Each structure stands twice: as C-alpha cells, then as structure tokens.
Structure 1
C-alpha cells in the first residue's frame, strides 16, 4: 500500500496518506495546497471513533482518487459490517464525496467525524520549519466551516461545506446518520481555497484562463494536450508505460501563471509547484520534439522576468534569468527572496540555448527576433556579472548570505561541490558545466545573430569567444593524470577534483575536446559512476559519496537524460543506448513514473532501484526524461527544414516507432529497431582511463 497519495491540477494539489487523511507534517508535507499555501493541514476521518483502513486505492488519474476503506484493521475472524468510499477530485477547489455502506441486515447508526484544520503554512515555511506570524480564525456557518488567515493585508481562506446536514464546530464536522439494511448514505464536501488580492477579490476569479475548472474540464484539456503528442508504438512495454505516464504527468503539472495568464510547467510535487528557471528550461528541451507548444510560454515568461537591476536580496543582476518564482506569504513579506529569486548561475546561458533549440525545431523566427535584446542582455551577463573574477569563466557567489543559495548550479545542496577528498572549496566557485553551457550559448547565439539578427560581426565575435573559452577550459579544467575534467575551479584557480556526473553535461554542450571524449564516456559508464541503473551524481570512491545523498551519489533521471544526449552528440551510440535502457528498466519499479532522484546503490547489490525518501514525484524534468531518451534512441536532430532520423535502439528493446513528430517540417514518422546480439557483434566496451 502506498504511504502517500497525491492528486493535482497545476495550481492546486493535495497530498494525503493512503487512507485519504491529512495530518500536519514537515518532513514530507501532506495537505491541500494552492499557490504555495497549505489550505488544509488536517482532514482526518473516523467512524464511531475508529480510524479507517485502506483496502484499495484508485489513483490512475492525476486529478481524482478513490479510497475504499473499513474501520479498524481487518482480520480473518471478523468481517467489517460497514465500509466507506472517499471519492475526490481537484481543480481550483477540492470536492470529496463520502459514501457509507451498511453491509448488515439491520438498520445501523453511525457517527462520522471529520477533523478539519489549516495552518495556512507557506511551503517555504514548512521546508524551513518556521512559525506563523498571522492569526487563523474559525467561523461556524450553516453546513460549513470557514477558516480565515490574516497577516496585515495578506489574507487566505478555506471554506468547507457539506451537502448533507451536519454538526459543525471550530475543529470539524460530525455526521450522525442512520442507514437501513444493506443501504448507503452520501454527502458531498466542497473545499474552496480563496486567495485574496489587493482589492479583496479572489485573484483566481479574474485570471485570463478562468482559474476555476471542473474535473470534466481538466480531463478534456489534458486529453487534448496528450492527443497532440506523437504516438508511440514499441515492443518494450516499460518504454510504452513510461511514455504514457510522462505525458499524463506533464499535462497535470501545468499551472496558470498569475502574472501572465498562461499555462506553464511547474517543476514538481510537493516542494516545487511553481516556475523554476533551470527545471523549466531543461524540461522544455526534453519535450520540444513532442509538445513544442508547451515551450514558448516558458521562454516568454523567463524573458519577461529577466533581471534588470542589481538587487542583493534577490541575487538579481541585469540580464540574469530567474531561478524561482513564489507566491506565498514569506515571499510577499520579503522574508524569502523568491518574488522572483535569481540565485542560479546556469539559467542565463540555458535560456539562450533553449531559444535557439526552439527555433531549430519550430521555425519560429519571429520569437528569436522579438527576443534579440533579451538574448543579448543574457550574453552580456555571462561576460560581466557572471565572470566575477574576470578570468573568462562563469562563477557564482550569492549576494545575499542570509537567505541566498550558496550553490547556484543544478547541484544546489550545501555539500554538492567538493574536492575528491571531501573538503569544500571556498566561494566563488566555477563549476565545469557552467562553462560548457556558456560555450554552447555563444555558439547558438552566433547562429541566431547571423541568421535572424543580420549581425555577422556579432556572430563572428561570439564564435571567437566560444573558441577561446573551449581552449582555455580544456587547459584549466582537465586533470591529466586522471583523464577527466574537474568538477569546478576554486577562487585561486585550483581544480576541485571530484569525479562527478557533471562531465556528462560537458559532452552535451560540445566543449569537450574530441580527443578526450572517449575517456569521459569511459568514466561515465565505468563502475565508479555507473550504478547499473544510471550515472551517479558523484563517483563511489569520492570523499563525500553517499548513495542516498541528494547530490553526492544518487541517480537523477534528468541528469542521465542530458548525459545520454551528450554521449549521442559525440557518437557514443552504444553507451547512450546502455544508459537509455537502464533508465527505462528502472521506470518499471516506479510504475512508469521516474522520480526526481533515486539511490545510487550498485544494481547487483539491490536488484532494483531504491527509492529516495523525499523525492518529488511527479517532477517535470523526470517526466521529460523518457521523451529525451526516445529522441536519443531514434537519433532525432533538426537540420534546416528537415528532421534527421538516425536510430540506434539498444539490444533487446525491439521495435520503436514514433508517429507524427511535430516541427517546422510538419509532422514526420521515425522508426528504429534494435539489432540483436546474433545479428551483429557488439563493439567492445570502452577502456577506462588508466586501465
């Protein structure tokens, strides 16, 4: 039985235990959430004073769930004479239908108690365990309970109503019901979550896209979105299952922006149900061959919120692309800098990369022309504010030591960047993948300048700068006696010499010298980094290695999808296929839904991928991973008005057919089939450096 059950519709989501109950928690928050606020922190059902036990759960759809429950713990010796069905659906509000079934031959009286409460906690307050500063007031109404939170002008409200007569008090609702022999009783509970704006109105009522949606409307919109994606036919059931689950999760993770009134992809449940620059860009890169219309709103939103001033509190600088946007109380009162927050050193180069890749797939040259100024500002940031030490590299160090992120690369947890022996470098830090992204951004911007901005001189300059960066990088980051690139440089220019998965991103960026690519591929698929289920974030012989450490030994599906793309770029098709096959195999153990992260234990030790305890699921760039793996296996690459298809399907996967791939060419089909071992001898594995 699952420990946690979630339903979501972008802006609003609910996480409960496997009985449908919500109790206040911090390690992994349960509750009803909308726009970074928890509107229900208690939602606990009992019957005749007994808690309920789950017999079965139907959670096949993202926006509704059904729980089949009985009182107490069932035994072999005593049958339950009553059962309860909790059916719930979510939109901007929550609807729950409670049905009690009397299985006895006599009329029965039952007392149902639903304890209700809200702490109106900000998601960031839950994560950092901060106390509330406002006041919550319960108001008993006819057949309803209203919970109101005030802190100065900040006001949020939860209203719970029942369709059946009920006794209401400040802590919940009590139903006293009589049910005839083999009869049933039902009530419908409606939970409204109200977010008051400056003029005293619910801000979602005036959203351009409507804000309030029924379950039927949600189903129709998600079905329409999924129907636009290419159709996959394949012999590999885990791949088919992962593809279906990914499309469903990506559809569910879309939310309506208060700022622009467009639907954007949220990063992941429960902590990251908002716009994240890095996550949104990588997810957009993953989904481009499948759902390109999801990408443009993200690009426009990121450009519209591009940094325009120096603001130490928010780590904002002119030209910089945001890291995270929040709507909750702590951001509103500037206790956290997330309104928006710019503490990421990689998003700015990644923004340029995404814009170019989007145009290459869609042919939307107008967007490239319209965002010329924003793109130039991003490139200027790389050379000015990004180059903190004036060495020609992109560095990071937060302007805000109180609340800013210390690590501002994708591995942003405190211990993620270290020397091989486990020591931590000082700030500022220049991680290797930042330089690769910068190289790629300049090369792509040169193409846009020459093709769309009619500025060949600028294009020449960018290409010269990129070439100089590549030469400098291959000199300063290469650890010759170990044959891999350093994770970072420290402020003295010394190599932070840990062996990490970041080197795979270097292949994707194209900054790796061709002569060194085989050594990098060998490390990535060697036993120190490759667990059998994927590439670990940190090699298993490094000082801070921990197979269940967030960025120091776990396997991240998104990270591996970028690594597979990088291996493909340098011609390591067999190695890329091996990685694709491992991740698709791992997805079987997560019901087709790859989580944010899972443990880095050796495959032979556990025989299955071990869950990470607080991983986000679903998460956008994990949902996008099977899509990018399909692109890699089928060898899809836009070239002018055509799509190049050069498949290399891993052995044993059989036929992989992707129909109606959208792009500037219209829609085309791709077909690949694995070569089995008896058909063609497998090439020898890459020799590891030093062996």
Structure 2
C-alpha cells in the first residue's frame, strides 16, 4: 500500500486516494455534496499494482502521477511508464498515457476497477456504512452506478474514449503496445443528485487549462490579495500557502449564490459551517474582504425562523452546519441545517460590523438589518433560557451536540479536577462575544440604521454584562476567569485558552487584564508553539486530547489579537511569530490542530487526525499578520503600528483593500 496520500478538491467535490491515484483505504473515494460517489477506483497492469515514481499537484484540483511496472528492482531498468493526469471539476477527468521505451512490442492488460457505495459522509467518517441497493448499468462506452431511496437520488457515470471490455466492476483493456509506441485514453466521471447532472467542464487535453467554476481564478485571487514583502521566510511562504488554501476551500453552498464562501476544511467538513466560516471571513478581512460579504449573505439565507427541537433551532439563530447527504435529506440527521451553535449568531453580528469598518459597504449592512435584528432578538431571548443575563446552551435534539461552543467535543467543558460539567452551560468566551456583538451592533444601529434608541439599549446591556461578568466569572482563589458556569451556576474552574478570547472581545476589565495575560503566557499554557487549550497543571490535561491540551492555530491567533488589544503588543508579536514558525515546520500549512507538548526541536508534534487544509487555520496566518502590522480600521483611517521586536528587517504590505481604496502599509 502506498503511504503517500493525494487529495484534490473543487467546491463540494473531494477525491482522496493514495499517491498512485488509487483508493486503498476505508475513507478514500470521490465525494460530491456529502455523498461518496465512487468508493473504488484502482488501476492495475496484468493484475498487479503499478510502482509509484512520483506525483505532483500543480493546483489544488489537479494532479500528475508518474508510475512504472511493478517489477522494478535494483539493477532492473523499467521500459514502460504510466502517466495519470487528473482534474477534479465537479466530476473527474483523467488522462491515462502508457509509453513503451523498448524495441519490443508489448502485450498487456490494463484494468480499472470501479465501485460505488453512495455512503453518506457521516457514515464514512464514523465507519458505520450501511448497505444500499446500488444499480449498475453498462453501456457501449459508459458504466453508470445509481441509487434511489425515499426520494434521495444519486448517480455516477464513468465514460471512456478507448473501447474495452466493460463489466459491472470496471473496464479491462487488452493493449498491444508497439515498440517505442504509446497508448492513451480519457476517462470522465460525472455526478448526478436530485438537482440533476452536474456538467464536467473539461475534455481531452484539458490538464493544466481548467480553472474551478469560481468568480475568480486562482491567479486572479492571488493578484487581488495584498502582496507581502519580508525577509522572514516563514511569514512569506505561509502567507502564500494560506491564500491558496482559502482559494481551494471556496464553494457554493446554496443554489443561486454568485460568489463563494469558505468550507470549514477537508476531508470531513466541506460544507457551510456558521462558526468556522464567520471566523475565517473575519481573519481574511484585510486581505480578501469579499469572503465576509458572501459568508454573511449565505448564513442570513438559512437563518432560523422558527423553533425546532430536533435541529436545535430558534428564530434568529445562525446555523452551525448545512449538509446535503442522504441522512440529512431523509431526516435521520438534523443538518438541514443544524443550529447547535451558541456563538455563530454573535459572530455574525461581530463580522457584520467589522466588514463595514473595512469596506464602507453600508448597502450590505442595510440589506442584512432584518437578519441582524433577528440575531439580537435571539441573543436577548432564546439564547438565555433562564433569563439570568448569560447565554447558556443545552441541546434539545436527540442527535445534538452536547457542547455548542467552539470546543464542541463532549468532554471539553471540564473542571480542574477532570469532572465534566453538566448543562446548561454558559462558557466564558460566549459572554465575551455577546458583549462585543452588542457594542458593534450599537454602532451599526446608530451610524447606518439611524436608530439611536436601539443603539443606546444595546450599549446599556453591554455595560451591565461587562460589570456582572467580571464578578461572576472571576475565580479569586485561582486568579483567572472560569471556563464556564455549569447547570448549577458553579464556576467551571479549569484554566483554558477560552479566556484569551475574552481579551479579543474586550469584556475584561483593567483589574483582571494583567492576570489573564500572565496566565496565558505562563509555560503551563504556552507550549512554545502556541497556547494550549487547557493548562498542563489541570487534571484533564492531555496534549493530544482534541480540546483539552492541544494547540489550535485559530485559537492562538485570536489570543494574539487579544493581547494586542490590551496593549501587550510585544507579547502578541512573539506569539504570532511562534505560530509562523509552526507553519514552517508543517510545510507552511497550519493544520487544524497539533499536539500541546512543550517545544522541543524544530517541529511541533502532530495531532493524529487533523483536517488539512482547514479554513480557520489558513486564516490564522492572515490574522497574525494583522497582529504584527497592528492593523485597525479607525473610521476612515487605516492604522498600523511600528515593527515589533524580533521581526527582522522592514515589512511591507502592498495593495491592502480598505474602504474602496488600496493602501501600502510598511513597518
């Protein structure tokens, strides 16, 4: 089995194989709109697997694979080569090219084995794949796999330009390859769902020419972004990689949308996520502000209008996740969309304000005024079911998330002794977001919607929340804010990275700010690569536990911005630089998460199963650049700061978009 992995994506289409281009693992296959359309795609020669020489991915949606005969060994020079050139473009186009370099004619059998299980992406992820009555139709030059049940329809058509022996399990070519001769065929895969067949946009010779169906090509996307000039290699390379990853994750989540939004990450989260998309769009504002506009518009289109216990929905709530697979279509899972997030609605309001600050796009703010007011109504009402002024969550769904903050694993809200908190739960950072959302929405109400009374109310509520929060959440004997209040209003006392988000939101008063900063930078919290999600001094700490000791790049980037907000610019810059160094260690692509072990050597320890690429990890690179430059939208002025200590040489950003113009920032 080849260990190298190959993953190509275009919008809601994702194709993952080994380096040879073949499926060989339980999660491999061609996925389209949350369904696996091909579970088997394996090419053999005379019954044996090819020997991989190398593969390259010129773009995130294309690959070139070079292979030779399986009998290769030391002292034996192979005389036959295989080139596979693959493009993912809603479907798949692949060119196969065999070349004979010997003076003898070769007779060989080339076979492509195919299979489709139409498994829902949740089934594959959880390794619980149910059986389905898949049909197979063999035509003169096509094989079509089909599936239909309870109104859910999917089909996969595979067509070939060279005739061969077609059978339900694939195609077999008996090839007579002349001396010094070659043989070529093209394979096209098109996917069909309930909306009809999705056109494959390439033909023979299309490799290297196709661009995804996006408003901007990759080159246009890169050209439109600011240009970074620095001698600090980790920043320069990580910046370009982050822009490319964000381009790769663009997709159209809803029909009728002209522009794209960022999917959360590959392979399991190629979907619209409220929290992930909003944070990513916020991170990208000084670099690609259009992502914020499309994200806000898309999420407003699926904002809840009624209560629904199965989907954890309430009027005004912004969704957590939207899926299109069979389990969702038939109502067996609640993701149509699912609303089990208690922070996305607040982040929607925060992003709306920040977007206007950077773009002066008051037209969008006016269009989304009803959605924003509905979000505020949710914040004031259903988000606080017991009316105590704090936003707390408890799932009402049989399949809902126990935790509905960004740390949404079941055991992420934990006391210092390792006991898991019981709901309803009010996490600290959600209160910070609620404070920030009120302050920001008040500005929009006063300046754009011309409703000063509404603005005054929100500012009054924010001030009251800030005062109460700094009393109720502060743990005097431990010297830090509580992670949360549990169902009994007890302080959940573990020391966690959540308190860094409080600095970002501005809810921390001066009395508690210095202690908060000191704890975050203490070696028990700071690993040397980033901020751990939980202090190593607490009982629940595990450096490879998803939310209880690992380092999340987006979390660290938010904390760095919080440090800068409270005047700790040198410490913020140092944290930003550490994250850049971590990116360099991972080939300039920050993964979703990495282990929280103390820094030893030149590379962080990897987490076993991170998403990569992942949107808000890519966006973290952009956010720490904002931190390093000290960028802020102050009315009609784009402000920056002096170059921080530890950052060698001058640093310049050219072509920075701000309120309809382009700017050069140098520090």
Q: Which runs of 5+ in 2 are unaligned?
A: none
Residue 196 of structure 1 and its aligned partner are, at CA, apart by: 2.9
Summarize the alignment of residues 116-155 of structure 1 with structure 2, pairs less than 5 Å apart: 116-132=114-130, 134-155=132-153
Q: CA deviation at 1:614?
A: 1.6
Give, in angstroms, the shift of residue 655 of structure 1: 2.5
Matched with 1:218 is: 212
- With over 3 angstroms needed to count, the CA separation of the structure-2 counterparts of 1:214 and 1:653, relative to structure 1, is same
In the alignment, structure 1 residue 186 sits paired with structure 2 residue 184: yes
The answer on whether the counterparts of 1:133 and 1:151 sit within 8 Å (CA) in structure 2 is no
Contact 2:528–2:598 under 8 Å retained in 1: yes
8 Å Cα contact 2:485/2:491 also seen in 1? yes
Give the aligned length: 659
Kept after mapping to 2: 8 A contact 1:92/1:213 = no
* Contact 2:86 2:207 (8 Å CA) reproduced: no
**1:358-411 Cα distance to aligned partner (Å, 9 max, x none):** 0111001122222222212211211211112221100000011x2111110000
Find the counterpart in structure 2 of residue 9 from structure 1: 10
- 1:122 CA displacement: 1.0
Shift of 1:273: 0.5
Aligned equivalents of 1:442 and 1:181: distance in 2? Answer: 75
2:154 aligns with 156
1:634 maps to 629
Kindly state the Cα deviation for residue 427 of structure 1 after the two structures are TM-superposed. Answer: 0.8
In structure 2, the partner of 1:516 is 512
The alpha carbon displacement at 1:231 in A equals 1.0
Mapped to 2, the partners of 1:448 and 1:152 lie a distance apart of 46
Any conservation in 1 of the 2:98–2:184 contact (CA below 8 Å)?
A: yes
Structure 1 position 653, deviation (Å): 3.7
1:70-118 deviation digits (Å, cap 9, x = unpaired): 2337432333232222110111110111112223331111211111111
Q: Which residue of 2 aligns with 1:677?
A: none
The answer to whether the aligner puts 1:559 opposite 2:555 as a matched pair is yes
Alignment partner, residue 581 of structure 1: 577
Runs of 4+ aligned residues of structure 1 deviating over 6 Å after TM superposition are none
Inter-CA distance 457–313: structure 2 relative to 1 (3 Å threshold): same
| Structure 1 CA distance for aligned equivalents of residues 255 and 200 of structure 2 | 12
SS of 1:161's partner is strand
Corresponding residue for 1:679? none
In structure 2, the residue matched to 1:479 is: 475
Match of 2:302 in 1: 305
Normalised TM-score (structure 2): 0.96
The 2-side partners of 1:3 and 1:614 are apart by: 15
| Residue 296 to residue 2, structure 1, CA distance change in 2 (3 Å) | farther
Q: Partner residue of 1:681?
A: none
Deviation at residue 213 of structure 1 after TM alignment: 13
Contact 2:418 2:539 in 1 (8 A): yes
Query: 2:573 & 2:532 partners in 1: Cα distance?
Result: 17
Q: In the aligned structure 1, how far is the partner of 2:165 from the partner of 2:177?
A: 18
SS at match of 2:590: coil
- Quick check: 1:505 aligned with 2:501? yes
Q: Distance in 2 between matches of 1:505 and 1:289?
A: 20
State the distance in 1 between where 2:180 and 2:207 align.
Answer: 36
- 1:649 match: 644
**Among candidates 283, 296, 303, match of residue 293 of structure 2:** 296
Deviates most, 478-487 or 130-139: 130-139
Check 1:399–1:162 CA distance in 2 against 1; reply closer, same or farther (3 A cut).
same
Give secondary structure in 2 for the equivalent of 1:469: helix
TM-score, length basis structure 1:
0.92
Question: What residue in structure 2 maps to residue 111 of structure 1?
Answer: 109
Instruction: Confirm or deny: 8 A CA contact 2:595 2:604 kept in the other structure.
Output: yes
The aligned counterpart of 1:458 is 454
After superposition, residues 153-552 of structure 1 pair within 5 angstroms as 153-197=151-195, 201-202=196-197, 204=198, 216-218=210-212, 221-262=217-258, 263-400=260-397, 402-552=398-548
Q: Is the 8 A contact 2:101 2:181 kept in 1?
A: yes
Which secondary structure does the structure 2 equivalent of 1:624 belong to?
A: helix
Distance 1:7 1:205, change over 3 A: closer
Cα distance in structure 2, aligned partners of 1:182 and 1:538? 63
How far apart in 2 are the matches of 1:410 and 1:417? 11
CA contact (8 A) 1:160 1:192 kept: yes
1:76-115 counterparts in 2 under 5 A?
76-115=74-113
In 1, distance between residues paired with 2:436 and 2:493? 23
Residues in 2 aligned to 1:315 and 1:582: alpha-carbon distance in whole angstroms: 38
How far has the Cα of 1:274 moved from its partner? 0.9
Residue 555 of structure 1, CA deviation: 1.1
- Give the gaps of 5 or more residues in structure 1: 673-691
Q: Is the 8 A contact 1:254 1:266 kept in 2?
A: yes
